[in-house]
Homo-oligomer: A and B are copies of this chain.
Amino acid sequence: MTASTTPHGPIYDRVALVGIGLIGSSIARAVRRGRLAKHVACWTRRPETRDTTRKLGIVDSVHDTLAEAVKDADLVMLCAPIGANADIAQAMAAHLKPGATISDVGSVKQAVIRDVGPHVPEGVHFIPGHPVAGTEHSGPESGFAELFERRWCILTPPPGTDQASVDRLTKFWQAMGSKVEIMDAQHHDRVLAITSHLPHLIAYTIVGTVTDLEDHLRREAADAGTMIERAEIVKFSAGGFRDFTRIAASDPIMWRDIFLNNREAVLEMMGRLSEDLAALQRAIRWGEGEKLEAWFRRTREIRRGVLDAGQAGTFAATEPEKK
């Protein structure tokens, strides 16, 4: 991507990162690489993570208090798990610079508006955002400057948001390599419930089911034909299960918060999925081959759409497989 390597003047004088995991630390690295801010400040809740961040040397200053970190910042980017947003927003409100922009990177947007919105002072611009990018790794060590390249970043500014501030934030994400889309928050939450939240829930479920299965069979002292060891499942996991284990290795706190904060949309999609699963289960039980084949042919088509949209195969390129 030339976008991310082209020199930019700083887009913000001072950026404050609140929380610094995979996403926050990737922003820090991308900002430094592109010289997109004169200074990147950071605060995060755990002292150990502050120490790690200092050692990594990826930001200009690590602060022990939230107030110091956000002071004078032109852009405050909330990168903590979304369940922490309400407390953070309340605690930092009095310390924000007039005219500053608050944004975030949460995977759910209506809940962020609900939690942060009431604490945004007059004259501060609140523009929720969601970079649709990630790996299953977490923590400040796991970030990398290329994470956002060629990936979508969705901004969901409430109606009436200052346009100049939206444009500036758009430019910031584009300079990190992202493609930016403006969207209604409710719509965002429904789309992501399907494309991301539901697949993660399924992956978490199936990996847990498999783990339990071994324990169950062992307790039952099953015979050699039925006994299945976890080691075996892992060994022969190439045929599909491996993809699920990667998804199900994602950050537990982040995902707990996503499900709790996008409850309605996830439960609606989950309901639809359960019905379809029951229908396919029934088709297998009754040996309805034609029904199965027709279903499987149809699902092939949407893959072609994914390839045409250029989303396939890019994850592997930005995901260094770490142990």
Interface size range of chain A in the complex: 35 or more
On whether the beta carbons of A241 and B195 are closer than 8 Å, the reply is yes
Q: Does A316 contact B (CB under 8 A)?
A: yes
* Copies of this chain per assembly: 2
Q: A204-B296, A235-B309, A273-B206 are in contact. Are A190 and B256 (CB under 8 A)?
A: no
On whether the beta carbons of A208 and B292 are closer than 8 Å, the reply is no
On whether the beta carbons of A237 and B276 are closer than 8 Å, the reply is no
Main secondary structure of the interface of A (DSSP, over half): helix
Q: Does A124 contact B (CB under 8 A)?
A: no
Q: A300-B249, A303-B249 are in contact. Are A132 and B236 (CB under 8 A)?
A: yes
Q: A191-B233, A237-B195, A321-B312 are in contact. Are A202 and B207 (CB under 8 A)?
A: no
Q: Does A3 contact B (CB under 8 A)?
A: no
Contacts of A267 on B, CB cut-off 8 Å?
281, 284-285
On whether the beta carbons of A236 and B321 are closer than 8 Å, the reply is no
- The 0/1 profile, CB within 8 Å of B marked 1, for residues 260-286 of chain A is 100100110110111011101100110
Select one of B204, B276, B307, B313 contacting A280, CB under 8 A: B204
Of A22-30, A54-62, A113-121, A223-231, the one with at least 4 CB within 8 A of chain B: A223-231
On whether the beta carbons of A311 and B242 are closer than 8 Å, the reply is yes
Residue of B nearest to A217 (CB): B190
Contacts of A187 on B, CB cut-off 8 Å?
224-228
Contacts of A242 on B, CB cut-off 8 Å?
306, 311-312, 315
**Chain A, 208-252, CB within 8 A of any chain B CB:** 208-213, 224-228, 230-250, 252
Q: Does A5 contact B (CB under 8 A)?
A: no
Select one of B190, B210, B297 contacting A194, CB under 8 A: B210
A-B CB proximity, top 10 nearest = A196-B239, A199-B240, A252-B296, A249-B303, A248-B299, A313-B321, A207-B299, A195-B241, A186-B225, A234-B305
Chain A contact residues, CB within 8 Å of chain B: 83, 107, 132-134, 136, 151-152, 154, 184, 186-187, 190-192, 194-213, 224-228, 230-250, 252-253, 255-257, 259-260, 263, 266-267, 269-270, 272-274, 276-278, 280-281, 284-285, 287, 289, 292-293, 295-309, 311-316, 321, 323
